[in-house]
Amino acid sequence: MIKRSINFYNWTKGRMPAIVFHSGVIFVFSQAGAVVNFITNLLILPKFLNASDLGLVAPVTQFVAIGAIPLTVITSVVIKYITKYEANEEWGKLNCLVRDLVVFGLLSTIVIVILFIATFNSFAIRVGISSGWIQFWMLIYLCVSSWIPVIGLLARSTQRFFIIGVGSFVTPLALMVSSIIFLPTYGFTGYLVALVISTFVNAALSFYGIYFYLLGHKKGYEPYFSDCKPLLKKYLLLFSASAGIGWVWALVPSFVVKHFLSDQDAAGYFFIQRLSQLPFYAFSTLMIVLLPILSMKYEKKQSTAKTVKGSIIYTVLSGVIVIGALYFFSSLMFHFVPQWRPHAGYSPYIWFMAIYVTIASVDTIISADLVAKWEFRPAIYRLPVTCFFVIFTYCIFGWDGTKGYVPSYLWRFVDAHVVKDINLLISILIISSLAFLSVNLIWYFILEKKRCRA
């Protein structure tokens, strides 16, 4: 029976396009994981956490994401080389690069821990954290999760898609079981413990798959730095700035809700954020396999246009279906789930937020194609746009703090015409996603035009 199942697996794999087959395998696991995540985030957490603690979930997890910045920056630069070395079977260079990524990760984690300790008190005061245990487990979570970018990247680049698929189910399952164990007794601190456990399970599983894959291609270390040096020299500063500003931009929305609005608004935003991610569940499966496959096509001088177009159509259609369902049925869902009823007033915002998620997903597809083609110049133009939205969003919600810096007539106009609430925040997010997408689309069409002429 097992042998026949393996034969059927290999037979199916050989007769389907790679992106369809791998997406399908991961889809099965990830959708099961999505159901588990849904239970954890939207049934278990609201049952054991009050409104104030629910509002902490997004800003705390995003603040901890600072730990992933150094490895995210480096992997953004070397991702193409990992794919290239694997495709060309240059195992000595690949093994050497992996070794150096591990060394860099250890050093960067030490630096980030120091930065976290130095900035935590300022953050804690603004979001209302008073427990020393929360700080402790945030620090542990930071240390563990900081390795996820490089481990996840290696798993994708070496096409360990089956391991990725299994992890997309096992990781949420570990979070759910740990939450059930720790939340009733320890509250929000227990949730952080559960996050640490699930993240460690994810990292360990991916490491297992990568290690035994590379072990099968064990070769002596070969120098690779001369390959990466031109790109590092040209784009390292840009990637560092983009990652830093990108982290701030990801933190700002949930932070301003928790800091400037009420605890009830923060809890409502938690539900809005989680339920509006439903379009992303369909897209996330595709995204795991998209970049490695686009990179492979580019290295083999094949056109990526058909893959990109199909990915966008799939993402937009699935997004429209989910947005429509949320528009008509989100209020009904809040009526039937007891834990959600106190926050039912926020249900009309969910479909609106899902528009932002869908546009951002399309933007991610275009970004993946640009990275696959070694095209990083769009980041130069996205950087000032991101800075603008960071400053504008924080200032418009912290409007009272700008009184001494802006003319009085502007104060009167804003106070008379701008309602600083969640509706305003989601509107800003949608506008920002359209701005980012526009930058990428301009560069995408420029490159396609050059390719057609060639």
pLDDT at 141 over 90: yes
Within 10 A of 441 (CB to CB), how many other CB atoms are there?
A: 14
Query: Residue 270 has what pLDDT?
Result: 92
Separation of CA 285 from chain center: 13
Q: Give the separation between CA 375 and CA 294, rounded to whole angstroms.
A: 13
Query: Residue 10 has what pLDDT?
Result: 56
Domain of 29 in residue numbering reads as 2-453
Q: Average per-residue pLDDT in the chain?
A: 83
pLDDT at 3 over 70: no
Q: Which residues contact 70 (CB under 8 A, 6 or more apart)?
A: 104, 105, 108, 111, 112, 146
Q: Give the separation between CA 97 and CA 82, rounded to whole angstroms.
A: 8
Query: Residue 219 has what pLDDT?
Result: 64
Token reading at 38: 């849904």
pLDDT at 191 over 90: yes
Residue 13: pLDDT band (50, 70, 90) is: low
Mean pLDDT of 438-443: 92
Torsion of CA 115, 121, 127, 130, to 10 degrees: 130
Residue 192: pLDDT band (50, 70, 90) is: very high
Mean pLDDT: which of 72-76, 113-117, 274-278 is highest? 113-117
Percent pLDDT > 90 in the chain is: 31
Query: Residue 108 has what pLDDT?
Result: 87
Lowest mean pLDDT among 65-74, 142-151, 208-217, 311-320: 208-217
pLDDT at 240 over 70: yes
Mean pLDDT of 335-350: 88
Total number of domains constituting the chain: 1
Query: Residue 372 has what pLDDT?
Result: 81
201-212 tens-digit pLDDT = 988 888 877 776
HEC readout, the chain? CHHHHHHHHHHHHHCCCHHHHHHHHHHHHHHHHHHHHHHHHHHHHHHHCCHHHHHHHHHHHHHHHHHHHHHHHHHHHHHHHHHHHHHCCCHHHHHHHHHHHHHHHHHHHHHHHHHHHHHHHHHHHHHCCCCHHHHHHHHHHHHHHCCHHHHHHHHHHCCCHHHHHHHHHHHHHHHHHHHHHHHHHHCHHHHHHHHHHHHHHHHHHHHHHHHHHHHCCCCCCCCCHHHHHHHHHHHHHHHHHHHHHHHHHHHHHHHHHHHHCCHHHHHHHHHHHHHCCHHHHHHHHHHHHHHHHHHHHHHCCCCCHHHHHHHHHHHHHHHHHHHHHHHHHHHHHHHHCHHHHHHHHHHHHHHHHHHHHHHHHHHHHHHHHHHHCCCCCHHHHHHHHHHHHHHHHHHHHCHHHHCCCCCHHHHHHHHHHCCCCHHHHHHHHHHHHHHHHHHHHHHHHHHHHHHHHC
Residue 90: pLDDT band (50, 70, 90) is: confident
pLDDT at 314 over 80: yes
Angle value at C-alpha 238, between 235 and 244, nearest 5 degrees: 140
Lowest mean pLDDT among 248-252, 254-258, 409-413: 409-413
Percent pLDDT > 70 in the chain is: 87
Q: State how far the alpha carbon of 159 is from the alpha carbons of 2, 54, 152, 332, 346, in Å.
A: 23, 36, 10, 41, 40
Residue 268: pLDDT band (50, 70, 90) is: very high
pLDDT at 297 over 70: yes
Separation of CA 320 from chain center: 21
For residues 392 and 428, is the Cβ–Cβ distance under 8 A? yes
Q: Give the separation between CA 170 and CA 205, rounded to whole angstroms.
A: 9
Query: Residue 422 has what pLDDT?
Result: 94
Lowest mean pLDDT among 8-12, 249-253, 290-294, 318-322: 8-12
Lowest mean pLDDT among 155-164, 242-251, 381-390, 414-423: 155-164
Q: Give the separation between CA 172 and CA 33, rounded to whole angstroms.
A: 6
